Structure formats: structure tokens, C-alpha cells
Chain A
Amino acid sequence: DAKTTQPTSMDCAEGRAANLPCNHSTISGNEYVYWYRQIHSQGPQYIIHGLKNNETNEMASLIITEDRKSSTLILPHATLRDTAVYYCIVRPGAAGNKLTFGGGTRVLVKP
């Protein structure tokens, strides 16, 4: 499996965009980039995923570099409720592959 590297923690201001980086320099051609988050004491929650094109949904945007070796999750207008641990995960999309969580980035949104 391709491994990911994320900063351990970061702060961001309420109302501003939060940009969460993730390095995955050993990613393979068939591997997707997934983002989940875990708000304190709750189960993880799916945010977004992508293969090579940028993706956007109601929660966030995912920007994947052209060489696919890194990506950025963007929360466009961070709120206090976005305080959580964010996990960047790289996995093949084929059947039989399970989700494996690393340490993630602890994001603190400040007023």
C-alpha cells in the first residue's frame, strides 16, 4: 500500500479556508486518495475521494497534483465544528481492499 504523510497538527481561523496537505509519493496508478475525518469520540466520517481529477462536494474540495504524489483537502469556510482529526488514505479501488488509517492531522479551528 502507498503510505501517506500528513502534518501532525494545524490550526486555522474560523471562516477561513483550511488547506490540509498530504504526501503520497509512492502512489500507484490504480490507487485512490480518500479523506475521512473523526470528530472527538465519534466514528470516522467520509469526506471525499479522487483518483486524478480534482473533486468537490458539499463538504470539501480535493486537489490532486498532476503527478499524483500529493494532494490537498480544502475546507472552504472552516467552522468550529470542523475541529477534528483528518485522515488521508491511499487505497486501490478494487474489491478486497480495506481502509487503513494512519495518524492523521489534528485540525483545530479557532474563533
Chain B
Amino acid sequence: NAGVTQTPKFQVLKTGQSMTLQCAQDMNHNSMYWYRQDPGMGLRLIYYSASEGTTDKGEVPNGYNVSRLNKREFSLRLESAAPSQTSVYFCASSEATGWSHGYTFGSGTRLTVV
């Protein structure tokens, strides 16, 4: 099925460890996004990529880096994980950043930092 695929689905890290969250879409979308959602809260934008080769900071970029590997893939890296980064991470894609009705979200990565 067409859509956004995130890996892994679950991850437990120790404080200070690093990891990369992977995201891939097969809808030929130009724009991709990383959000985080803390318990009981709405989603907050971490980074986004309006098109292949570009990335920009969102609302809460500190502690994260991203790579738009190609048009399909957009990865999120935590260099030194902290307990405050315990959250559910959602990747999304859209035809363009202006197409706010065309966002397709992945099923999320549940990250716990201990």
C-alpha cells in the first residue's frame, strides 16, 4: 500500500546514545516532515524538507539533525539522546509545503530514553 513507512516502531535508548529514525514515502511527494508528540499533547514540528536537497528547522529542532537522503527518504537523528526526547515521532509527506490538506502521516516511532 502506498504511504509513509517509519522504522523502527519502538525503541528504548539510554541517555547519551545516538540513533536514527528512518522514514520513506512512495507517493512521489516533494515535502517531508518530522513531528514529535508528547503524551496528551498536540504534534510539534521538528524539521521539514520542502524539496529534495533542502531542510529547515521547525518549532523544536534542538537536539536533532535531519537528512533528506533522496526524494523518498528523510531521516531524523538524535546524536545524544536525553529523557526529554522521550516521545512519539511521526513522519509525514505532502506534494508541497503549501498543500496542508495533503499530508500523509506514518504510524509513528515510540521512543523511550532512560
Contacts and interface: CB of A to CB of B under 8 A. Distances in A.
Interface of A: 32, 34, 36, 41-46, 48-49, 87, 89, 91-104
B100 A49 contact: yes
Contact of B98 (A36, A42, A97): A97
A89 B105 CA distance: 16
Given A34-B100, A93-B98, A98-B33, 16 more contacts: A32-B100, A32-B101, A42-B105, A43-B92, A43-B105, A43-B108, A45-B105, A93-B100, A94-B98, A95-B96, A96-B98, A97-B100, A98-B45, A98-B48, A100-B45, A101-B44
Contacts of B55: none
Contacts of A91: 100
Contacts, number: 68
Nearest to A100: B45
Interface of B: 4, 33, 35, 41-45, 48, 50, 58-59, 88, 90, 92, 96-98, 100-108
Contacts of A44: 43, 90, 92, 103, 105
B42 A104 contact: yes
A100 B43 CA distance: 7
A89 B109 CA distance: 24
Nearest to A44: B105
